[in-house]
A and B are shown apart, each in its own frame.
Chain A
């Protein structure tokens, strides 16, 4: 087995890993603050990709307006729209469930997922529609020495890493972030200090969903856009969150990246195990370190 192969699969694994990281980060932020297991996260990712696709290919066909929204504007627009939808869901539905058990939030968001998937499966084909809007400037190929790698994928890796670490910095090292964390630790006390905790919670949920939407836009040019693209990914992402530790921001990022790498390297060693290796690790973590690799025991 040559070093080239290992490096190639590792890089492709990292490519998948940044999507795991971005999605599990959003899940971890939401779980940390709201104590809600957001099953609709995959649907938000799918929605982000569809907003990019519709903006690029369908505006003229559907509305008769000669206009196309390119990749770059979508990269801003889609997270905002998905975030807004998240806020709407939080305000109108999730808020009523905070006093109940986690399972109610899980069931509600699962229902939302099925509705969104069904809606899109009605209008778009399930096996995927290619996103044609990949920017010309990123269409080339970079020679990395050990392999040729498409420029766009490289961009997606770097961009996602920047977003992940910026989010981590914001929550762990800024004043607003520290208030968020205070809200998580003790909502009543934080509210007593005059901070608007419900608003913080709403915005956080919107932010988490927006991150998923952003990941969706980034994924669109690599994978075809399909109503089930989120459902395929969300189970793995939940495993990533469990391994990293529920509610741990850095844990979500690092385990997302690491598990992408593990998956990639498994393809070198024993390909058939690649799709299950993450779940195998999840079982081990649950058995020996139930709070996750980076989580704190409560």
Chain B
């Protein structure tokens, strides 16, 4: 002990921080649990995740009681601006300097892959609620990465199957030109081909495209029955609005939004969007329990929750439950516990987290209501059918994740 004093204050501080987890009864690093919400706070995905995700995480912490194992739960949030480098450097700072224990949100697949990779090196759990790419749980799966709400495999299974079975055999894709869009187009094409359909063309549009007109005209001239929109957020809204302006749907082609959020429908209006079918993990008024939570969320956010907002609440809650159960925020222990739990709340029924990180749960095929079916401002969607988890998600027999096979 005496000779350690001689190493000076710096050494002592370092040792003290090393010694802390060993002396503390409940093992919490730096004596608190800190959750990072890293989202697009200003760009195309702002309204579907963004500031609403911070509110959902806050609500989860409040409902949990504000503390876990007698220690405070903190939130930190930032804007990744849809740039992988900014996302990764923010995450690095959070982990190294802020002692963040879990990072959630992470909409935008490129950002998500960068942050999940980094968090894996640092042994930090990521609970992705916003990004779509299946690479998160397939080729680039990690022991600490969890993919919570939806992925680009689950989305087309419901939507594309329903459309092909109703006669939409020939598809043309307008693809957001980055990891997510390509992943979605590939997965959807596979579903379409497996059902005997055909892909007649594809055009890549940059993220944040304002003018889809020439892409839409290309799609129109391709002779496709269905124009698949492999994009999200403001891009989807712009594409659907402009398809309306150029009378694409009225001329006989169907639009298929592969990833649509309730906020998109709200911003387009029922008149434009009615009849559109898509796959969702959650509808705010799907049952009484969901509605009760959603109305509380609405009071604070001024908009009803998207599936992603509800997913953030659910992910944070279950993370905290796991921390409580293992009396530690050690990532290995918490991840192991999460893998054993059956997840149940207003968002998920009997969900499980598979070894590749994919949270397996039922999805819903939904349809946008006609204006006269809607009873209030946000009453926009009705559930057409339930897609069981086994069909929606890649099974452990099929997965390419190196952790499994």
Tell me the A residues contacting B by CB distance below 8 Å: 1-2, 4-5, 8-9, 12-13, 15, 125-128, 141, 147-150, 222-224, 226, 264, 267, 271, 274
A9 touching B211, Cβ below 8 Å: no
Contacts of B46 in A (CB 8 A): 125
Whose C-beta in chain B lies nearest to the C-beta of A152? B245
B221 touching A2, Cβ below 8 Å: yes
Residue pairs across A and B with Cβ atoms less than 8 A apart, 18 shown, are A5-B217, A9-B214, A9-B218, A12-B213, A13-B214, A125-B43, A126-B42, A127-B44, A127-B207, A128-B208, A128-B234, A141-B246, A148-B246, A148-B251, A224-B238, A226-B210, A264-B214, A267-B217
Docked complex Cα distance between A237 and B211 (Å): 18
Contacts of A222 in B (CB 8 A): 210-211
Whose C-beta in chain A lies nearest to the C-beta of B234? A127
Docked complex Cα distance between A294 and B241 (Å): 40
Whose C-beta in chain A lies nearest to the C-beta of B247? A148
**Supplied contacts A12-B213, A126-B43, A127-B82, 5 more A-B pairs, CB within 8 Å:** A125-B42, A126-B42, A127-B44, A141-B245, A148-B246
A150 touching B217, Cβ below 8 Å: no
Whose C-beta in chain A lies nearest to the C-beta of B203? A271
B246 touching A126, Cβ below 8 Å: no
A8 touching B221, Cβ below 8 Å: yes
Contact with A along B170-212 (1 / 0, CB 8 A): 0000000000000000000000000000000001000110110
Docked complex Cα distance between A8 and B251 (Å): 14
Contacts of B220 in A (CB 8 A): 8
Docked complex Cα distance between A148 and B251 (Å): 10
Contacts of B81 in A (CB 8 A): 126
Cβ of A189 to closest chain B Cβ, rounded Å: 47
Docked complex Cα distance between A267 and B82 (Å): 28
Cβ of B235 to closest chain A Cβ, rounded Å: 9
Cβ of A105 to closest chain B Cβ, rounded Å: 31
A147 touching B44, Cβ below 8 Å: no
Contacts of A13 in B (CB 8 A): 214
A223 touching B211, Cβ below 8 Å: yes
Contacts of A2 in B (CB 8 A): 221
A147 touching B217, Cβ below 8 Å: yes
Q: List the 9 closest A-B pairs by CB distance, nearest first.
A: A148-B247, A5-B221, A223-B210, A127-B43, A125-B42, A127-B208, A224-B210, A150-B245, A8-B217
Given A125-B42, A126-B81, A127-B44, A267:B247 Cβ within 8 A: no
Cβ of B65 to closest chain A Cβ, rounded Å: 36
B218 touching A141, Cβ below 8 Å: no
Docked complex Cα distance between A148 and B242 (Å): 11
Whose C-beta in chain B lies nearest to the C-beta of A229? B210
Most buried by A among B46, B81, B214: B214
Contact with A along B42-61 (1 / 0, CB 8 A): 11101000000000000000
Most buried by B among A1, A2, A12: A12
Whose C-beta in chain B lies nearest to the C-beta of A1? B221
B210 touching A12, Cβ below 8 Å: no
Docked complex Cα distance between A1 and B223 (Å): 11
Contacts of B221 in A (CB 8 A): 1-2, 4-5, 8
Contacts of A125 in B (CB 8 A): 42-43, 46
Contacts of B250 in A (CB 8 A): 148
Contact with A along B233-263 (1 / 0, CB 8 A): 0100010000001110011000000000000
Docked complex Cα distance between A5 and B42 (Å): 37
Cβ of A41 to closest chain B Cβ, rounded Å: 20
A9 touching B217, Cβ below 8 Å: yes
Cβ of A251 to closest chain B Cβ, rounded Å: 26
A128 touching B217, Cβ below 8 Å: no
B218 touching A147, Cβ below 8 Å: no
Docked complex Cα distance between A150 and B46 (Å): 28
Docked complex Cα distance between A223 and B44 (Å): 14
Contacts of A1 in B (CB 8 A): 221
Contacts of B213 in A (CB 8 A): 12, 15
Docked complex Cα distance between A126 and B80 (Å): 13
Whose C-beta in chain A lies nearest to the C-beta of B223? A2
Q: Which of B44, B234, B246 is the one whose CB lies under 8 Å from A149?
A: B246
A267 touching B43, Cβ below 8 Å: no
Whose C-beta in chain B lies nearest to the C-beta of A140? B245
Docked complex Cα distance between A5 and B238 (Å): 21
Interface residues of B in 63-102 (CB under 8 A from A): 81-82
Whose C-beta in chain A lies nearest to the C-beta of B46? A125
Docked complex Cα distance between A150 and B248 (Å): 12
Cβ of A118 to closest chain B Cβ, rounded Å: 14
Q: Which of B207, B208, B214, B245 is the one whose CB lies under 8 Å from A267?
A: B214
B218 touching A271, Cβ below 8 Å: yes
B246 touching A147, Cβ below 8 Å: yes
Cβ of A25 to closest chain B Cβ, rounded Å: 21
Docked complex Cα distance between A205 and B242 (Å): 36
Contact with A along B214-232 (1 / 0, CB 8 A): 1001101100000000000
Cβ of B242 to closest chain A Cβ, rounded Å: 8
Most buried by B among A12, A125, A271: A125
Contacts of A149 in B (CB 8 A): 246
Contacts of A8 in B (CB 8 A): 217, 220-221
Cβ of A146 to closest chain B Cβ, rounded Å: 11
Contacts of B207 in A (CB 8 A): 127
Cβ of B171 to closest chain A Cβ, rounded Å: 17
B210 touching A128, Cβ below 8 Å: yes
Docked complex Cα distance between A19 and B215 (Å): 19
Contacts of B43 in A (CB 8 A): 125-127
Contacts of A274 in B (CB 8 A): 214
